[in-house]
Amino acid sequence: MADGEYGLKSLSPFCEKAHRALYFHKLDYIRNHTGRPSGHKQYNPAGQVPVLLIDGQPVPDSTAILIRLEELSDKTLLPADPAECGEAWTWEEFGDSVIAQYIPVARWLDERHWPLNKHYYSQGVPKPLKSFIENLVRKNVGKAYAKRDVLKQGMDAAWAEFERHLDNLEARVPATGFWMGDALTVADIGLFSCIQELRIPTTPWHRDRINERVTLAGWLDRVDAATADKH
């Protein structure tokens, strides 16, 4: 995906989270990406991204990166009150563990969206092999997610559950300000980065369901305005 497409730096919610946090902290960095996450295995044996290099030392995992950035900046995404800080981290984890699981299912396995997304996974592949690679990737993702709770009751049940999560978030989201009050926190960065990944033209069903929750959509717009690197 091109830099800035759909207002995102990355199609990975975890990389997007790291980008947004780096911009909030006003820390300069150089982006280095490969065609697939395994291209950074020398920094993270798990073959997952993001990985942030600080003085040559890798910090893998988006949550670990948020923690490390707090040590490098005079700005903070952590509430001063310990109870609120704990709640903010809980919401950040909700984004990672609950909302993020729907993203690959929506892009790779939902028949409505696969035609809009498949070309991202075969960029740079010779044309005669593109269809083969796209279908192979989809098959492998399907096998992996068939074993996960998100699809244990099938696709329709997954999207019904997704809408229930949106309803709960809509009931909780503030009409003004940010998730925990007047200041941005890790709750905003974590939740936003996962929800916004489904609020783009390549997942139109999910985009429309999110935008129907007008208070949630308004909060997403506020977080976007506060954390998007416009340069």
Supply the CATH number for residue 172's domain: 1.20.1050.130
What's the domain count of the chain? 1
Range of the domain at 206: 5-227
Taking the C-alpha atoms of residue 29 and residue 43, their distance in angstroms, rounded to an integer, is 17
Q: pTM of this prediction?
A: 0.90
Tens digit of each residue's pLDDT (9 = 90 or more) over 179-229: 999 999 999 999 999 999 999 999 999 999 999 999 999 999 999 999 987
Asked if 33 and 120 count as a contact pair (C-beta separation under 8 A), the reply is no
- Cα 200–206–208 angle (5° rounding)? 80
| Positions of the chain with pLDDT lower than 70, given as ranges | 1-5, 33-49, 230-231
Please enumerate in sequence order all residues whose Cβ is within 8 A of that of 47, keeping only pairs 6 or more positions apart, or say none: 37, 38, 40, 41
- Closest listed residue to residue 164, CA positions, set 99, 220, 214, 104: 99
Taking the C-alpha atoms of residue 11 and residue 113, their distance in angstroms, rounded to an integer, is 14
Residue 99 DSSP class: I
